[in-house]
């Protein structure tokens, strides 16, 4: 591995000062990750991401711009990451620098216009707490409240439990300030026109589409230094009062907040119920949450999480408890929802409409989950989204697969078959947790008001054990075969397989050409190549931005003409 020359290191140090740059081996090692441990949807692999040349912690937009310019001058790859939940934020080459955005953490709330202007290291918990003081709230994606709002809004999908009432990140991103990969600064929407932060698109042709569409470019198109996001009404107190003790505090919210677990007798009834929830504007929040632990142990896990004296070893005994067994059976096909009325009348209307939807679709409210402590636990869990450690609690690692999240009618029709396939692997092998097949969880929608869902089957495995990782990868190959046979597209556990190699490195252009020339619609990646050539001519940001070179495209076109 080539090390950067002293004078180059010095040039970066001159930008941020000695305290904010490091090439200490121990520090650099802490900026690597085992890819299979961080929900990146590229399948479970063993190798860590490469060691960066240096880690830089900038404080201002000007510093970020100077760093990107130096990277261009010296041909060094760069990647910015903020709260580092995702492997997408780690570098993928030997000659690369890692930017850690933790020093940029200012924000301001404009409550009149329901906007917050934020820097990268503003985590959702901090923004939510301040927004609630002025009667507002934010959509927190499923990654949880200790994640950066800028990261998920600029660079990933950004849907979560509240997307049904607040929309997804693409709908909440307003004006943004962005250091492009060539070192220029782009200000999008109204900000670019000098009119403030309120609008993400226009006037004139929108430049925002270069940076993100429904999904962002996972940090491979420059560095967002500031953005405005939409805030949404919060019909609650100025903070969430809590009671209880670790690990399961409960929210003491007023009566206009109600949380329920809705259960359905069949997947058809469930699809009908979810569709009706999409069509009627009554939910504040909707999420399949506790099924992530698995169909067979759902109620046992809820009991463990709510009792500081219990632990995972209590699962078998709790599964034998007759009442929990009965309730577990009734919650086989379920979803957690929250309604939040603006007024007493609004709450009554929403409650009535919810009951009618259950009546029409044949569903019911779970009796177990109406226990006061549990409703209040769920309110805090899902409104605050502060329990993301629990995703990893079963075996240390997990990855979402299948991803049966498009149209709820399509996914519901194959849900039992998918669950049976997973259960077969759970029963026949011991490298994934045996939890009853169905562990399909996630958000009720990936866009405001409804539409597609955001569900994934959690597969729990040990990310530090070679056999478990490799066995899980085999399982994902089997589920991909099943998805292909059903014409359901790419398995979620492989969505980013074309963005980073199994050894943790980015793909070269030649490797991308090989992959993307076989796409049914290669022009998409060919077009992205042109965009990259315009804004990232030195190709410094890695292969999460998928490209097919013009040369390769011409080659394919010629051979097709010959045919």
Ligand X SMILES: Cc1cc2nc3c(=O)[nH]c(=O)nc-3n(C[C@H](O)[C@H](O)[C@H](O)COP(=O)(O)OP(=O)(O)OC[C@H]3O[C@@H](n4cnc5c(N)ncnc54)[C@H](O)[C@@H]3O)c2cc1C
Which of 218, 339 has the CB closer to ligand X?
218
203: cis peptide before it, omega within 30°?
yes
Give the Cα separation of 12 and 18 in Å (integer): 9
- What phi, psi does 365 have (nearest 5°)? -90, 135
Binding ligand X (rule: CB under 6 A), the pick from 174, 218, 395, 483 is 218
Considering only residues 266 to 305 of the shown chain, the ones binding ligand X according to CB under 6 A are none
Least distance (Å) from ligand X to the CB of residue 268? Answer: 26
| Residues 534-563: x where in contact with ligand X by CB under 6 A, - otherwise, as a string | ------------------------------
Which of 141, 273 has the CB closer to ligand X?
141
Q: Which tokens sit at 552?
A: 């390769």
Considering only residues 70 to 99 of the shown chain, the ones binding ligand X according to CB under 6 A are 79-86, 88-89
Least distance (Å) from ligand X to the CB of residue 33? Answer: 9
Return the SS3 of 476: helix
Which of 70, 218 has the CB closer to ligand X?
218
Binding ligand X (rule: CB under 6 A), the pick from 35, 192, 200, 219 is 219
Return the SS3 of 543: coil
Which of 161, 192 has the CB closer to ligand X?
161
Stretch that binds ligand X, among 69-77, 157-165, 416-424, 477-485 (CB under 6 A): 157-165
Least distance (Å) from ligand X to the CB of residue 493? Answer: 13
Give the helix/strand (H/E) hosting 73: helix 61-74
Give the Cα separation of 316 and 312 in Å (integer): 9
Q: Strands 96-100 and 54-56: what pairing?
A: parallel
Binding ligand X (rule: CB under 6 A), the pick from 139, 154, 480, 549 is 154
Which of 79, 232 has the CB closer to ligand X?
79
Residue linked to tokens 């081996």: 25
44 binds ligand X (CB under 6 A): no
229 binds ligand X (CB under 6 A): no
Beta bridge partners of 338: 259, 285
Considering only residues 445 to 484 of the shown chain, the ones binding ligand X according to CB under 6 A are 454
Measured from the Cβ of residue 370, the count of other Cβ atoms closer than 10 Å reads 13
Q: Which tokens sit at 362?
A: 């044949």
Runs of H (alpha helix) within 306-371:
315-320, 322-330, 344-361
| Residues 112-151: x where in contact with ligand X by CB under 6 A, - otherwise, as a string | --------x--------------------xxx---xx-xx
**Contact by Cβ (8 Å): 263, 364:** yes
**Contact by Cβ (8 Å): 81, 219:** yes
34 binds ligand X (CB under 6 A): no
Least distance (Å) from ligand X to the CB of residue 342? Answer: 26
160 binds ligand X (CB under 6 A): yes
Return the SS3 of 216: strand
190 binds ligand X (CB under 6 A): no
**Contact by Cβ (8 Å): 516, 472:** no
Binding ligand X (rule: CB under 6 A), the pick from 78, 156, 234, 249 is 156
| Residues 373-402: x where in contact with ligand X by CB under 6 A, - otherwise, as a string | ---------------x--x-----------
Binding ligand X (rule: CB under 6 A), the pick from 122, 145, 223, 263 is 223
Q: Strands 96-100 and 77-81: what pairing?
A: parallel
Q: Which tokens sit at 64?
A: 């970020």
**Contact by Cβ (8 Å): 232, 307:** no
Residues near ligand X, by CB under 6 A: 38-39, 79-86, 88-89, 101, 120, 141-143, 147-148, 150-152, 154-160, 218-219, 223-224, 388, 391, 443, 454
């Amino acid at each position: 591995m080539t090390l950067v020359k002293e004078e180059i290191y010095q040039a970066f140090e001159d930008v941020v000062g000695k305290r904010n740059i490091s090439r200490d081996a121990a520090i650099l090692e802490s900026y690597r990750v085992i890819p299979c441990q961080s929900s990146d949807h590229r399948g479970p692999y063993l190798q860590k991401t490469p060691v960066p040349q240096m880690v830089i912690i900038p404080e201002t937009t000007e510093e970020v711009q100077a760093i990107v310019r130096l990277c261009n001058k010296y041909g060094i790859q760069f990647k910015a990451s903020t709260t580092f939940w995702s492997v997408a934020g780690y570098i993928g080459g030997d000659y690369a620098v890692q930017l850690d955005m933790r020093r940029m953490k200012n924000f301001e709330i404009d409550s009149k216009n329901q906007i917050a202007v934020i820097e990268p290291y503003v985590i959702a918990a901090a923004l939510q707490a301040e927004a609630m003081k002025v009667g507002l709230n934010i959509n927190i994606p499923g990654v949880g409240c200790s994640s950066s709002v800028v990261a998920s809004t600029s660079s990933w999908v950004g849907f979560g439990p509240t997307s049904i009432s607040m929309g997804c990140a693409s709908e909440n991103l307003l004006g943004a300030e962005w250091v492009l990969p060539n070192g220029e600064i782009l200000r999008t929407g109204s900000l670019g026109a000098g009119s403030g932060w309120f609008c993400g698109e226009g006037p004139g042709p929108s430049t925002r589409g270069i940076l993100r569409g429904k999904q962002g470019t996972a940090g491979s198109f420059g560095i967002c230094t500031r953005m405005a996001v939409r805030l949404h009404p919060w019909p609650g107190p100025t903070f969430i009062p809590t009671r209880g003790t670790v690990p399961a505090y409960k929210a003491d919210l007023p009566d206009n907040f109600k949380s329920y677990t809705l259960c359905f007798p069949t997947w058809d009834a469930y699809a009908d119920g979810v569709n009706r929830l999409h069509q009627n504007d009554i939910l504040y929040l909707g999420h399949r949450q506790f099924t992530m632990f698995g169909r067979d142990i759902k109620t046992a896990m809820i009991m463990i999480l709510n009792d500081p004296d219990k632990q995972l070893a209590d699962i078998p005994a709790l599964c034998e408890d007759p009442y929990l067994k009965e309730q577990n059976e009734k919650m086989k096909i379920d979803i957690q929802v929250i309604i939040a009325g603006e007024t007493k009348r609004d709450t009554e209307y929403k409650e009535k409409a919810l009951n009618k939807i259950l009546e029409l679709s044949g569903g019911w409210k779970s009796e177990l989950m109406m226990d006061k402590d549990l409703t209040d636990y769920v309110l805090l869990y899902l409104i605050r989204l502060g329990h993301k450690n629990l995703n990893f609690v079963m075996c240390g690692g997990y990855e979402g697969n299948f991803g049966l999240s498009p149209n709820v009618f399509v996914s519901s029709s194959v849900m039992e078959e998918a669950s049976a396939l997973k259960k077969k692997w759970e029963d026949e092998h011991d490298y994934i947790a045996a939890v009853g097949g169905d562990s399909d969880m996630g958000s009720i929608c990936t866009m405001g008001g409804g539409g597609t869902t955001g569900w994934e089957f959690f597969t729990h495995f040990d990310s530090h054990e070679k056999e478990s990782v490799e066995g899980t990868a085999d399982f994902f190959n089997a589920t991909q075969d099943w998805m292909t046979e059903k014409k359901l597209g790419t398995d979620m556990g492989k969505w980013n397989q074309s963005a980073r190699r199994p050894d943790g490195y980015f793909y070269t252009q030649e490797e991308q050409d090989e992959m993307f020339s076989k796409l049914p619609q290669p022009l998409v990646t060919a077009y992205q190549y042109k965009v990259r050539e315009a804004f990232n001519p030195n190709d410094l940001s890695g292969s999460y931005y998928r490209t097919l070179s013009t040369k390769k495209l011409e080659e394919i076109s010629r051979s097709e003409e010959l045919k």
